[in-house]
Amino acid sequence: MAHPPGARGRRPQLGRARTPDRDPGRSTGGARHSRPSSGFSIPLALKFTALIAVLVIAAMAWQAMTAIEKGGEHLETEINENGIAQALAVAGLIAPDSIRDVNIEEQKKLNDLLKNYSRNAKLLDIVVMNRQEEIVASVRGSTRRSVAAKRVPYSKADQDGVTISEFEDNRVPVRSFSANIADAGKVEILVSVKSIQNSHDDLSQSLTTVTIIASIGGAFAAFLLATFLTRPIRTLMRDLRKVSMGDLQHQSQVNSSDELGNLARIFNRMTMNLHTAQAAKLAQRALEHELSLATSIQSGLLPSGLPELPGFDLAAFYLSAKEVGGDYYDFLQVDGNTMGIVVADVSGKGVPGSLVMTMTRSLLHMAAKENLSPEKTVIEVNNCLAPDMNPGMFVTMAYLVLNTLDRKVRLVRAGHNAPLLYSARHGKVIDLHPKGIAIGLDREGPLFSSQLETQKFTLQPGDVLVLYTDGIVEGKDPHGNDFGDERLQRLIFETRDRSAQEILDTIMEDLRVHQESAEQSDDITLLVLKSC
């Protein structure tokens, strides 16, 4: 950046010359791809339904098994209690003497008593036996056979003096409840085991049916509940699908007040931020593309090569601080024997500085044609450029006209850094500082014209003329120290016997060493002309 006389620049950094075109679409890292879907997925509602159904069926099955087990125990208890009570009741109805002295009449009375009792109790049989276990009376009139009986333990029966056992009677499994009739004999109440099993099966079937119906109802209710609960999730999935297809302005309509509603609101904020970020990225890409074009255009405005000057050795270097810069150097063919050489610096960097630099170049090319007076050329540039420049902007310039035949130089300096001349005749480096203010500071023109001064001199063999911008002498190291005019003058003196390119390379290398890792914040231009 150019400064009025006495102003200081900011810390520069060396690192890149004309910035190459950028590829805004290139990614800086390898893309990570998600694994492809298998094409088959189980809906969340179905998973939830299956889970609830399994839990309900397991719970109902456990409940049914427990109920069947408890029901069976209760049924057994009820049958045993009923059998004990009936055995004791029948035993209480029969007189012991009627068993001891049995006759036909007593036997008939016992049979009638047993039949009447069994008709109301719905028993399989009632048998009365004497002490010798001979059948005295029976409802069915059956004769007792010797069979193996399996005793059924039951504490209540033991307490009441009743024996419970199971055996087969005429191939029919029965349960016997036997109670003593004093010391005269005993009475047996026979109950069909099949009827007991049928009652148990009926209870199991009823509970199983209830369990199946309840499980089906629970699964259906779970499906309805899962469908209701996952409806917002399905809506969010459709929303995500739309966003994934590029519709970043889509907003979810899930408005519940639970976690899914909060997720939908976060989703909406995310899509808004993505839309904003995408717009900013597109704008950034457009800007980078424009900057790339500007860089390409500016590169085309700078000299593509160095002119052939008989008797002179020439070298030039340019490095912008940003994609486009405000420094400018050029070679203008004034006439057949005269070459115009200019180094300029616009106050500012980036696009504004580049635009002003472009305007300056165009005006200078028009004004310098066939104009051997550098003073008139620069005045004309100021008169055309100053009225159109924004307040606070200006251009510093060092412009000289060199006659390649007699080596005479006429130099004007419009507020620019003083060119340095190593004079072989004097053996030292001299500051060339003719008076002049920067272009654009005087918008009317009279002050600029009155302050501009032309310095004339002749280049002798061995002389070295150096033109530069303040990015050289104001280049700072990491501690903020300037490279400085004295250091530049010393380098010119030490390399005076080398070629122009070697002098330039030495200066730039020393500047790099000085700056180290410090950031470059100003453009750098350096031009070395050596008389041979």
Render 17-44 in DSSP notation, one character per residue. SSPPPP-TT--SS----PPPP-S----H
State the pTM of this model: 0.52
Q: Report helix, strand or coil for 495.
A: coil
Residue 372's domain is classified under what CATH number?
3.60.40.10
Residue 26 or 273, more confident: 273
The confidence score (pLDDT) of residue 169 equals 73
Tens digits of residue pLDDT in 405-438: 999 999 999 999 999 999 999 999 999 999 999 9
Which band of pLDDT confidence, cut at 50, 70 and 90, is reported for residue 10? very low
The confidence score (pLDDT) of residue 491 equals 96
Same domain flag for 256 and 318: no
Distances (CA, A) of 93 to 347, 480, 520: 133, 128, 125
Residue 16 falls inside a structural domain: no
The confidence score (pLDDT) of residue 18 equals 41
**Among candidate residues 496, 345, 338, the one with its CA nearest the CA of residue 421:** 496
Tens digits of residue pLDDT in 429-460: 999 999 999 999 988 878 999 999 999 999 99
Distances (CA, A) of 353 to 162, 325, 328, 419, 457: 121, 6, 10, 22, 32
Segment among 134-138, 347-351, 418-422 with least mean pLDDT: 347-351
Residue 34, pLDDT above cutoff 50: no
Q: What angle do CA 308, 311, 314 make, to 5 degrees?
A: 50
Contact between 142 and 168 (Cβ < 8 Å): no
Domain count for the chain: 2
Same domain flag for 317 and 229: no
- Strands 454-458, 524-531: pairing kind: unpaired
Same domain flag for 150 and 251: yes
Residue 253's domain is classified under what CATH number?
3.30.450.20
Residue 9, pLDDT above cutoff 50: no
Contact between 381 and 399 (Cβ < 8 Å): no
**Among candidate residues 507, 407, 404, the one with its CA nearest the CA of residue 456:** 407
Report d(CA 120, CA 143) in Å as an integer. 23
Residue 303 DSSP one-character state: -
Mean pLDDT of 125-129: 87
Same domain flag for 174 and 317: no
Residue 286 falls inside a structural domain: no
Residue 254 or 116, more confident: 116
Same domain flag for 310 and 206: no
**Among candidate residues 203, 152, 204, 201, the one with its CA nearest the CA of residue 173:** 152
Parent domain of 354: 304-531
Same domain flag for 228 and 329: no
Same domain flag for 236 and 361: no
Residue 442 or 255, more confident: 442
Which band of pLDDT confidence, cut at 50, 70 and 90, is reported for residue 132? confident
Residue 121 falls inside a structural domain: yes
Last residue of a domain, one of 250, 271, 292: 271
Report d(CA 43, CA 456) in Å as an integer. 91
Neighbours of 445 (CB within 10 A): 15
Sequence-ordered strand ranges (E) for 258-356: 312-319, 327-333, 338-346
Residue 280 falls inside a structural domain: no
Q: Considering just the CA atoms, what is the radius of gyration of the chain in Å? A: 58
Contact between 363 and 382 (Cβ < 8 Å): no
The confidence score (pLDDT) of residue 26 equals 43
Same domain flag for 204 and 267: yes
Residue 24 falls inside a structural domain: no
Same domain flag for 242 and 379: no
CA atoms within 13 A of residue 60's CA, in its CB half-sphere: 19
Residue 228, pLDDT above cutoff 70: yes
The confidence score (pLDDT) of residue 211 equals 81
Distances (CA, A) of 218 to 35, 63, 64, 260, 269: 37, 14, 15, 25, 39
Report d(CA 422, CA 412) in Å as an integer. 18
Residue 283 falls inside a structural domain: no
Same domain flag for 113 and 236: yes
The confidence score (pLDDT) of residue 348 equals 65
Helix, strand, coil abundance in the chain, percent, nearest 5: 45, 20, 35
- 243-252, 341-350, 448-457: which is most confident: 448-457
Mean pLDDT rounded to a whole number for the chain:
82
For tokens 């008939």, name the residue.
108
Tens digits of residue pLDDT in 330-342: 999 999 899 999 9
Last residue of a domain, one of 253, 271, 289: 271
Burial of 258 (0-12, 13-18, 19+ CB in 10 A): exposed
Same domain flag for 311 and 256: no
Residue 40, pLDDT above cutoff 90: no
Same domain flag for 384 and 514: yes
CA atoms within 13 A of residue 477's CA, in its CB half-sphere: 9
- What are the structure tokens assigned to 194, written together? 């099949």
Report d(CA 526, CA 532) in Å as an integer. 19
Mean pLDDT of 176-191: 88
Contact between 412 and 436 (Cβ < 8 Å): yes
Which band of pLDDT confidence, cut at 50, 70 and 90, is reported for residue 496? very high
Residue 250 falls inside a structural domain: yes
Residue 4 falls inside a structural domain: no
